[in-house]
Amino acid sequence: MWKDFKQFLLRGNLVDLAIAVVIGAAFSGVVSSLVKDLLTPLIAAIVGKPTFADLTFTVHHSTFHYGDFVNEVLSFVIVAAVVFFFVLKPVAHLMHRMGVMPPEEPPRKPCPECTTEIPAAARRCPQCTAVLTEAA
């Protein structure tokens, strides 16, 4: 049992995932600090407020502090942009240059009974369980 557990822990994709989570958490901290310590004061200087934490509005005597939310949205947008432009796009370009293409979607056809789109090679519809003939 311990041998199986050890094999599970040392599996390559599990270790890669753990490393990705740790790096992602560290990167998130860096981006949060960038937004809180550099971008927020810069934008706040333009708007005229000392910090985003002071941004509020009131509805029926309830005060809503939306400054921290603005910081979190900025952090999310920055992380998403970095992942898109520095991870997703370069990997897709590299895979295209190496000739590694994602597998093609198999051809599909409608089921004659329920009209659900199913793989063309299917002999039974997964939705209505109708047995399909070659003519269908």
CA nearest 76: which of 24, 38, 17, 23? 24
The residue assigned the tokens 């991870």 is 87
Confidence of residue 98 (pLDDT cuts 50, 70, 90): confident
Own/partner contacts of 29-32, CB < 8 Å, gap of 24 or more, are 31/75, 31/78, 31/79, 31/82, 32/71, 32/75
pLDDT computed for residue 134 by the predictor: 63
2-60 tens-digit pLDDT: 888 777 766 667 767 777 888 888 888 888 888 888 887 887 788 776 677 777 889 99
Cα 56 to chain center, whole Å? 30
| Res 67: pLDDT | 81
**What does the pLDDT look like over 72-83, one tens digit per residue?**
888 888 888 888
The domains of the chain are located at: 2-98, 104-136
CATH superfamily placement of domain 2-98: Large-conductance mechanosensitive channel, MscL; domain 1 (1.10.1200.120)
The pLDDT score that the predictor gives to residue 59 is 92
pLDDT at 109 exceeding the cut of 50: yes
